[in-house]
Structure 1
């Protein structure tokens, strides 16, 4: 019954995707926007102190790097690059794998290249494999489903949300549709089609709507424009109008979704387990017991959210600390105020998700038979895993040969 009630929301997400996706829009490339820079992989083969070229900072001197290109227009060719050693420049050493920016001019001219960054592909790949292995070891088949759902979330973000915003669609509307697609796909794929999962979906949906409403109200009340340094630079490069405040609200909605589904799924599972342990509990008793569990969970979740935002804004906070401005002036500045609104609105949504989801879960669980309340239905991965576990645990009955049977 609950799944039927959610069907219009799922249909709305699909219709929104079809209406907002830029099917006929030609996405501009970096060359169209005037970037004209191409990455070239290279390795540092020598490094020596040297004088800075004209126009470079003289403080601390420079280092002359011998760099051998690994691809690009001149593979295996070695060029020299002079890099300043000021505090704002990375330190490069022999053996470092770096990325050059090639301007597309004369490939034999060293001035056509510039060292811009380190190569990080292999370490990131190793880290991703370790992460995937940890999830699979702990979650087994459900962990595999979670990884697939994570991949689909990235597909929605990269394949729908970003192109639609770049095509000029309303960022908040795009984020709401994208969050709806992610929510339905991730929760049902990971946890299966069941009343328990539908309860978590409904709790997430209502809490996300509250976060969207609060973010709209308080971003307008605090006169947040969304025009921080990065957004202003992006709009200047694109040359097309993008609603900066809508972009800020879209970030709040998508950022809160990941923490919300954790809270709603946990609360729903807690209520179902309480019902399984004591089928005689009434709706009110289930709700009160679930609330006690939720208080512990939400307190740690809110702390996690606040620290995550504070950690991301740490360089900004350091800069304001050294500015000599008062605490009130720092908090009311555009850059910090939008992080405050983002954090507090998300935290309010998390707090509200606990009673909302617990009330829905108690109302649904108390109407289910005790035995079915103890079963989650399970995703395809769950059913495959249970079948494999049952097969592995079933003992094999061996018949004794006739000459060893009793009485022979």
Structure 2
């Protein structure tokens, strides 16, 4: 009991000051200026006399483009294009919404779709007044997918899944209320990213997994991984000259808020991007150590660490693939475009279009890989001090449940060396005879 108290006291002695320092940093870095004076052009804003309307597509046909009517009136020939005859949500007769060539080639506009279109009827009068397609209205399908996601998570993970979803909402609030306004105001991006990420991890881990030595161990490993990721991100952003310029969103942001540092935003993004995967590997590794120890409480510290690291190495391999493929999937159109260019692989990967994704993958992977042995070591030391939960014994007259394949594999992982030799061999006949004599 005294060892358990000392272990919990040591964890508290480390995490409580870290939490206090993080909260103080959040208070000092909290954005104080009003950003309402910063104006960014609304992509859906319209000129005087025009409006952005919403309607439901009734049919899509290939016919004369409505925008070609002035050409026809001048004696020219009308062009053919796809037109979506749409029923406005505000009421009235069908309007011919002209589809741009990119959307027309995709073939995604179908009857029943809800679309947003630009109404130029107040600017161009006559039969040729065009209605131009702008975007789909995706509120219903996205909301349905979000509800399905919540139902699946809660159904499988139950109360812990519900707490995880609530924690995710809290994390988004920290991102929206602290980190984004802080970056716009020009606060130090390294401190904003690190402080905001640690606050998120404190809240998410303890809220979703509860207050326990296991959770505290995962939190320590996560903070270590965040620190490594932040340092590497700061070095890589400067050394690799990640400027962040070149995209339309970057140009619009720098014009609206000149005090914003695009390279600082990239630095903060490198820290945030690894949060989810880092949290995943640390909590999983901490749980693995606890479960292995409960299966074999007599395992030595060295063997428990070795067995848990065998699990960690498998996790490292799969997680590295996860990060790389996640970023590759997000940048797939850009990858295809760059692959069509006549350039070498090294030049392609280090080009301005792809280098940010490459650096993000490498920085995040290094942080999570180093976090696994640190988390494992902390978890082994803590679990040996705190001890395992009491083992449940079935009532008299009832057979114990058969161990599952996962339990058998875990037991084998603990009791077996990497070469397949049992770590705790059976006692010899001489040892048994000596034990009987004693």
TM-score range, shorter-chain basis? 0.7 to 0.9
CA offset digits 1:278-311 (Å, max 9, x no partner):
2222322221111111111111111111111111
Of residues 321, 342, 345, the one that matches 1:324 is 342
1:3-402 pair list within 5 angstroms: 3-28=12-37, 36-37=45-46, 40-52=53-65, 53=67, 61-71=80-90, 75-76=91-92, 78-86=94-102, 91=107, 92-101=109-118, 114-371=132-389
Deviation at 1:209, TM superposition (A): 0.7
Report the 3-state secondary structure (helix = DSSP H, G, I; strand = E; otherwise coil) of the residue aligned with 2:354: helix
CA contact (8 A) 2:56 2:86 kept: yes
Deviation at 1:215, TM superposition (A): 1.6
Distance in 1 between the 2:45 and 2:25 partners? 35
CA contact (8 A) 1:36 1:103 kept: no
- Runs of 5+ in structure 1 lacking a partner? 375-408
The number of aligned residues is 370
CA contact (8 A) 1:283 1:363 kept: yes
Of stretches 316-325 and 97-106 in structure 1, the one that deviates more from structure 2 is 97-106
Asked which structure has the greater CA Rg, the reply is 2
CA shift in 2, pair 1:239/1:51, >3 Å: farther
Distance in 2 between the 1:205 and 1:59 partners? 64
CA contact (8 A) 1:33 1:238 kept: no
Root-mean-square deviation (CA), in Å? 3.2
Distance in 1 between the 2:219 and 2:43 partners? 44
CA contact (8 A) 1:330 1:336 kept: yes
CA contact (8 A) 1:68 1:77 kept: yes
Deviation at 1:29, TM superposition (A): 7.2
Report the 3-state secondary structure (helix = DSSP H, G, I; strand = E; otherwise coil) of the residue aligned with 1:367: helix
CA shift in 2, pair 1:362/1:147, >3 Å: same
CA contact (8 A) 2:116 2:135 kept: yes
CA contact (8 A) 1:60 1:85 kept: no
CA contact (8 A) 1:271 1:286 kept: yes
Distance in 2 between the 1:112 and 1:175 partners? 47
CA offset digits 1:134-169 (Å, max 9, x no partner):
111111111111111122122222232222222333
Deviation at 1:95, TM superposition (A): 2.2
Residue 426 (structure 2) aligns with: none
CA offset digits 1:158-181 (Å, max 9, x no partner):
232222222333333322222112
- Runs of 5+ in structure 2 lacking a partner? 1-8, 72-76, 393-438
Distance in 1 between the 2:391 and 2:22 partners? 29
CA offset digits 1:214-269 (Å, max 9, x no partner):
12212222222122414433324524232111111211111101000110001101
Distance in 1 between the 2:179 and 2:105 partners? 34
CA contact (8 A) 1:61 1:84 kept: no
